[in-house]
Chains A and B, each alone.
Chain A
Amino acid sequence: METRLNAGLAEYLIALGDDELILSHRDSEWCGHAPILEEDIAFANLAVDELGHARLWYELAAELLDEDKERFPDHLAYFRDASEWRNVQLVSLPNGDWAFSVLRRYLFDVLEVERLRGLKQSSYKPLAEAAAKIYNEELYHVRHGRAWLPRLGLGTEESHRRMQTALNDLWPFTPQLFQALPGESELSGVVPTTPGLEAEWRTKVVADLASANLNPPEKSNPMNRPRTQQTEHMMDLLSESQMVARANVEARW
């Protein structure tokens, strides 16, 4: 591909990797604190998967930019300030309660599956291959989320209330999921258009939620910021995740 396309695709992949890595961080915070032991295991596993996906996307970006495949992913993860990250705000929000964390994952995972379905068809072969691998894992993630929806949505009065509250809180952050990603405008045929994923996502999500007696809020104030704009929570998150690496810049781990 041409250099300009390479740079655009790398930007796109880094944004995808950022989504995955930040969500992995939030999921990993549940490790040792989940409501049942089986979910300590499941959420750690989800976090492992997402971390693996982030690395894959960063490595592909490294190839496109002619950077070192070993070092570039760590450079992205540990030596960028909040303003340089391109993840959606949804993934950096603090975990809240179990309802919030489960629902956030579900909303995000359904989008990922839709996007990966398109990426599997990419004309850029390394990307299509990586997407095929990740796609299979994400199907399990969606299955995990879909198993929780009716259990919490229909379980008890309290669990229903918590789920509906979480949905009301999360919903304003979903429009941002469908903004074109950085670099995307130049990548016709290489990646699916992100705004084009919204209709399918909405149909699936609204149906799943309805079967769990949950409804998206009728009125919400969309937090549709550009991906260049991060939440305040990102600064706390990064000061934690980068503290050891930044205190020992010369070190190898």
Chain B
Amino acid sequence: MKLIVAIIKPFKLEDVRNALTREGVVGMTVSEVQGYGRQSGHTEVYRGAEYQTSFVPKLKIELVVSDDVATEVVEAIVEAARTEKIGDGKVWVLDVAELVRVRTGERGAEAI
């Protein structure tokens, strides 16, 4: 099992979700996060004084998938989230040691 973590631009959430649905992924966790990479923040001006915002709002998506579909799922997220402009985000993948469905107690791939 793999944990896929994706940082994306907030307005790309619908696209990513639709792409994942097409891949057969049936659940995800989304959080609002802030951060920066190569994309710098933006500038706000109040009465002539400029304020640099160094953290940019992003969404973090987390989902667990089985090993055999992980590559395709990552590909789907990347394709859907891409605008080809700076700040499109990152996707990374981690091994998952154990997974339990709380309601039934199912374990491993059964719990996905």
A and B assemble together: no
